[in-house]
Amino acid sequence: MSEENPMREMKIEKLVLNISVGESGDRVTRAGKVLQQLTDQEPCYSRARYTVRTFGIRRNEKIATYVTVRGEKAKDIISKGLAVKEFELRRKNFSAAGNWGFGISEHIDLGIKYDPNAGIYGMDFYVVMKRAGDRVAKRKLRKGKVGQRQRISKEEAIAWFEKTWNEDFAKVLN
């Protein structure tokens, strides 16, 4: 009788990997190649919203690259990233909506071979969590609201994180 409700089960919806270079040109393209090498997907490029002369960027210039990964591939990449962080995150890495993220300073720690032409890039990992029934709020027809009990809280996300990566001694520090 103590079966777990399948509608309360939390899953990873997607993983967003972002490399923000802060300048346009060849470095952004090389950062995109690093992401493509890691995920086997074509990366997208973010553009500057406005000109900042002190940073040397102009409006609509490509300054960052990102890729969205879903499914088992996302879980594998998250495991590699967490291994770099030694499976330790801080409470402030978790948002109030239950999503979480972290950053690494060198992409070569993920097991990618160092290429002197590309250089070394840091990257951000951002994981979006969901529960079954989440589509109700996102669909076009007969859109509804997701109840408060069905939303993921910060504490639930932390508990899920520690339980899921339990075999790797996952910890959430203060």
Digitized pLDDT (tens) for each residue of the chain, 174 residues in all: 458 889 999 999 999 999 999 888 899 999 999 999 999 999 999 999 999 889 888 999 999 999 999 999 999 999 999 999 888 999 999 999 999 999 999 998 888 888 888 889 999 999 999 999 999 999 999 999 999 999 999 999 999 999 888 766 667 787
pTM of the model: 0.89
Q: Given this model, what pLDDT does residue 157 score?
A: 94
Q: Given this model, what pLDDT does residue 166 score?
A: 76
Cα–Cα distance list, 173 to 16, 56, 94, 136, 156 (Å): 23, 38, 11, 34, 15
Q: Given this model, what pLDDT does residue 119 score?
A: 87
Q: Given this model, what pLDDT does residue 2 score?
A: 55
Q: Given this model, what pLDDT does residue 168 score?
A: 61
Helices (H) and strands (E) in the chain, counts: 3, 7
d(CA 50, CA 57): 8
SS3 content of the chain, % helix, strand, coil (to 5): 30, 25, 40
- Tell me how far apart the terminal alpha carbons of the chain are, to the nearest angstrom: 36
d(CA 35, CA 65): 8
Three-class SS state of 102: strand
Q: Given this model, what pLDDT does residue 1 score?
A: 46
10-43 CB burial, b ≥16 within 10 A, e <16: bebeebbbbbbbeebeebbebbbebbeebbeeeb
d(CA 112, CA 121): 11
Contacts 24+ apart (CB under 8 A), 113-119: 117/30, 118/30, 118/31, 118/33, 118/34, 119/27, 119/30
